[in-house]
Every structure is written in structure tokens, then in C-alpha cells.
């Protein structure tokens, strides 16, 4: 899973040029929820993009997020991928609802080196009850972007709950 030839037939898209932004109301809703996620602050993650059906989250590579070889831990990679997909779905949900992750699957494709990671959650199939997202995580080092994880996630729309 390391030091392998460069991707062929790669479905990963390096960086789409002009990303659409969500409305201010939706940006505010996502940001407010994100700021209540203690884990995101603790890891040092931040929202990098909020668009309709698409959210990006970035995570600086620090010792606090590593595994035993010094790469970013699959758990930290998963955490930002899960949040990116969850918020991507949430941008499409009606008011007074909340989003919960039903399940996800993630392939770790390459060591998560680099200066920071960027997780991209994109809605593949929206729905009244269930929404399915595609998850991609890139390691970014200067101009170089490497796809380090890819997966798929199922989310459910539930009535809103007051913050605990």
C-alpha cells in the first residue's frame, strides 16, 4: 500500500476549479454545528469549503494526529472524512433536522504524509431519509496532492435534537 506506481484510470479529481458556495444561511448552520464538535477542535481541523452537497475539511499534520510510523492515523483521516461527508449531506437537509452517520467504508490508499490533509465529502445520492456520500482524502504538500483515502458513507436525516 506504499511506494506504488502512480494511479491509472484514477477517478480522483485533483482540484475542481470554481467550487460553488452554499448560501450564507447554510454556511452558518454548518459552521455552528462544526464548532460544537469538540473532536474537530481537539484535532485542529477546520472547515475549508461549504458548497451545496459538498464540504471540505482540512487537518494540519501534527504529532497529535499520527500513528506509529509518523503518518496521519487512519482514525484522524476517518474523522475528517466522516465529518466532511456528514456536513455535505447536511447542506441539503431541511431546517429542524440533524444528520447522523449510519455507516461508512474507507480504503486507506497511501501513507498520509504531507503538510496537511484535505477531506472532501460529496453527496452522491440525496434522499428524504438516507443520503449517500463519496469520501476522498488528499495529502497536500505544496502543489502536490495525493489521494490517500477514498470511501463511501450512508447518512440519515432525523428530527433535530437540542444540544446535549
Q: Do 108 and 77 touch, CB atoms closer than 8 A?
A: yes
| Nearest residue (CB) to its own copies, 140 versus 151 | 151
For residue 55, with 0-12 CB atoms within 10 Å meaning exposed, 13-18 middle and 19 or more buried, which class applies?
buried
For residue 163, with 0-12 CB atoms within 10 Å meaning exposed, 13-18 middle and 19 or more buried, which class applies?
exposed
Q: 3-state DSSP call for residue 27?
A: helix
Residue written as grid cell 491509472 = 8
Query: Which residues, including other chains, have CB under 8 Å from residue 88's CB and lie 6 or more apart?
Result: 53, 54, 55, 121, 122, 123, 133
Nearest distance from residue 62's CB to its own copies, in Å? 8
Nearest distance from residue 142's CB to its own copies, in Å? 19
| Nearest residue (CB) to its own copies, 140 versus 153 | 153
Nearest distance from residue 32's CB to its own copies, in Å? 9
Nearest distance from residue 141's CB to its own copies, in Å? 14
Of 83, 157, 90, which is closest to residue 120 (Cα–Cα)? 83
| Nearest residue (CB) to its own copies, 95 versus 103 | 103
Nearest distance from residue 135's CB to its own copies, in Å? 10
| Nearest residue (CB) to its own copies, 58 versus 78 | 78
| Nearest residue (CB) to its own copies, 9 versus 24 | 9
Q: 3-state DSSP call for residue 95?
A: coil
Amino acid at each position: 500500500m506504499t511506494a506504488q506506481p502512480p494511479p491509472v484510470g484514477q477517478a480522483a479529481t485533483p482540484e475542481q476549479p470554481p467550487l460553488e458556495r452554499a448560501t450564507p444561511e447554510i454556511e452558518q448552520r454548518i459552521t455552528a454545528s462544526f464548532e460544537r464538535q469538540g473532536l474537530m477542535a481537539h484535532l485542529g481541523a477546520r472547515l475549508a469549503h461549504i458548497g451545496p452537497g459538498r464540504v471540505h475539511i482540512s487537518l494540519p499534520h501534527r504529532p497529535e494526529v499520527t500513528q506509529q510510523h509518523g503518518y496521519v492515523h487512519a482514525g484522524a483521516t476517518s474523522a475528517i472524512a466522516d465529518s466532511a461527508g456528514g456536513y455535505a449531506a447536511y447542506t441539503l437537509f431541511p431546517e429542524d433536522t440533524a444528520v447522523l452517520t449510519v455507516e461508512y467504508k474507507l480504503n486507506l490508499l497511501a501513507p498520509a504524509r504531507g503538510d496537511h490533509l484535505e477531506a472532501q465529502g460529496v453527496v452522491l445520492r440525496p434522499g428524504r431519509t438516507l443520503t449517500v456520500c463519496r469520501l476522498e482524502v488528499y495529502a497536500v504538500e505544496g502543489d502536490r496532492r495525493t489521494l490517500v483515502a477514498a470511501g463511501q458513507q450512508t447518512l440519515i436525516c432525523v428530527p433535530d435534537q437540542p444540544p446535549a
